[in-house]
Structure 1
């Protein structure tokens, strides 16, 4: 029995949505499935972003026998020696490899830089939980947003930036559970859009707090007069 990467990715995305739905967070973020798109080669299979953080995951079956992946790994390792982005890479760029038998699915993962020596058994459930914590802000980013942006640009330079691009969609959910989709004309403008939404949310949240304080104050005054 064999399981292809896109089956693993699909279940990862469904599980990620389920896990995020259990977390009380209002941070805007975006999840992009880039597999088999022009951006797959230059970035990776799955790109996840919020205003101040990026995560890239590449899904492979037998990574140790994949000559293409080994070549890509060598080129990236050499380039990072010049750009001083090793720590950034290990934080946000991961590779997930899987093997399966009739009875179990074994998932192994590591920072992309370390997959030749550091693949560790890591259940899909653990991967989903950790990714959800990163996207919803439970785990604080270790670097600046500009460092993540520099890393993305380096990847695209090394892997060949495709002239084709893609728009993107931001999914917004209301406190009542309603869903709205906001199109973005370019994936490259996505973090800017997320940043705008983040500021808008914070401003609205601050206004609601002020309104609640005002109503509470007025209620207290009204109660005091009635005495």
Structure 2
């Protein structure tokens, strides 16, 4: 009986000896995976911060020179406006067009919509989880201040927020008056894209 116990004990120790390296290797792999994920997150965050600095610098140069200034040499877009939300302390640099590259770095001014301050409806779109994540905090009555690339500043007041289907937005870029629409996907906490859009509508204060 003791012999059997001894053999069992030896076998158990051998099993543990075999498992220990495997466990160590597994822990090392998990630690490395965690490090990679954290590094990627930090890199994305750092890249976004650098991009915002470059966008702000390019926009400042545009205002000073009156000419479009690309934030970096290979960009296919450029800053066209600064959007400010005084009550909640948010600011975004809006880019020309709403292409995938533009929306990766900031709100995009939708093609064929009016310029801020002009008759019609100026439309800006951005992703719900990045540059327009704060739209959920914007309230009716809030001011939205827009500085154009030519240095002119216009103030709008939010009149309504709504949730609509992308193909039933009712946005009329040629509507009478001087209007503003900020658009993003909805709901804000969704992990996948869907057909619904969150709209913030405003009218310019004369």
Q: Could you state the TM-score of these two structures normalised by the residue count of structure 2?
A: 0.27
Name whichever structure is richer in helix by fraction: 1
Higher Cα radius of gyration: 2
Name whichever structure is richer in strand by fraction: 2
